[in-house]
Structure 1
Amino acid sequence: MAEAAASNHGEDFQRCWQLFEAEIQNYAGDDPLDLWDRFIQWAEPLLPPTEKDLLVSVFEKLVKNFMNVKKYSNDPRYINYLLKLINCSTTPLEFCNYMYGQGIGHKISCVPTLLGQRNLRWKGKVWMADSVFQKGIQKFCRTIGYVAPQYG
């Protein structure tokens, strides 16, 4: 019975995803990330933990879709979904380095702190956290005063 319910969630999600994709194709506004944000905010609480892979695939598509769109490189919504994807990644450190290399999240002060903390958790190596923190300082994050106390 539980398997049938999980299967129904997946099928329902797939139908909604198809409708969402059609909406994206026809979107003529100036903020397509808003569509993605609203869709994920709707879907995330509805999917059971067993269907987490469905959301991960949506995060991947969102991140890839907006990876080269400059106006979203420091958008908190985009960064939020990127961090969620990084949390699900099997190669989070490489992902973080790629993100920084692309200039994503440079102007959001909490990103170096979050990535530094995650680096510590992922590998247990302080030098990795320090490296990310230093990148944040070099990129003149908006509120360095927030980052420094968190790091120390």
Structure 2
Amino acid sequence: MANYILMEMSPIIDFDAFEDSKENIKPLRVGRDAMTLVKAVHSDSLEEIHVRYSQELQRYAGDDPLALWIQYIEAIQTYYTTGDSKRSRFVQTLESCLLEYRDDDRYRNDERFLKVWLLYTDSVTEPDDIYQFLLKNEICTQFSALYRSYAIYLLRRGQCCKANTIVVRGIECGAHPVRDLRLLLQHIQAAGGSTTTDVRSIVSLSTLRPLLPF
């Protein structure tokens, strides 16, 4: 069954189709300040966080609601270093944000919105259709992190040729910073018919800057 129903003029994401592939929340790619964790443990409960931000979003009358959503997502991330995604409703919160703004031109090329998408791709086991949806609908396609994230996913599945194609596509469309894509492409092509070890070394290149963590 397809994970997405992609329509030419009105794309629809069937998030429910991903229910069986959602994983537990993964640790953040960057460390948290110790005091932040202490404050999180002794401040709001998780349910209070959901209630508070839900109310703030309903009342919000400014021109950048995504900023408040990102605060909401960060609050959940800070509360749980790892944990049960159903209990934290982390993936559900990501989905709500993405559904709310997937057709909003204000965020079509907003790096913060891409961060939310990449958190979502990192939370499901089969995100290929998510990446295809973003590319097809030209959402955040000016950022190299989109192509890098997709290519790394493909490399981990042993799809080196397809990963190469995705990176080239990012370079050709002028995604930035282009240096990261060129470096990744260089290593993919140098590996050629790479072994699993070669692929792992490409994926973990220390010369590549981290993907867009909050």
TM over 0.5: yes
Identity over aligned pairs, percent: 21
Counterpart residue type for residue 44 of structure 1: Q
Q: Structure 1: how far apart are the matches of 2:81 and 2:125?
A: 21
- Which consecutive unaligned segments of at least 5 residues does structure 2 have? 1-44, 187-214
Counterpart residue type for residue 135 of structure 2: Y
2:141 alignment partner, SS class: coil
- Which consecutive unaligned segments of at least 5 residues does structure 1 have? 1-11
Tell me how far 1:140 sits from its aligned partner. 1.8
Q: Structure 2: how far apart are the matches of 1:50 and 1:37?
A: 19
> What residue number does 2:135 align with?
100
Please identify runs of 4+ aligned residues in structure 1 that moved more than 3 A. Answer: none
Tell me how far 1:71 sits from its aligned partner. 2.0
> What residue number does 1:63 align with?
98
> What residue number does 1:19 align with?
52
2:63 alignment partner, SS class: coil
Q: Structure 2: how far apart are the matches of 1:150 and 1:137?
A: 11
> What residue number does 2:114 align with?
79
Higher relative contact order (CA 8 A, sep 6+): 2
Q: Which digits, 9 at most, give the CA deviation of each residue in 1:56-108, with x for residues without a partner?
A: 11111111111111221221211111111101123211111011111112111
2:113 alignment partner, SS class: helix
> What residue number does 1:139 align with?
173
Tell me how far 1:48 sits from its aligned partner. 5.1
Q: Structure 2: how far apart are the matches of 1:91 and 1:110?
A: 18
When normalised by structure 1's length, the TM-score is 0.82
Tell me how far 1:28 sits from its aligned partner. 0.6
Contact 1:113–1:151, Cα closer than 8 Å, also in 2: no
Total equivalences in the alignment: 141
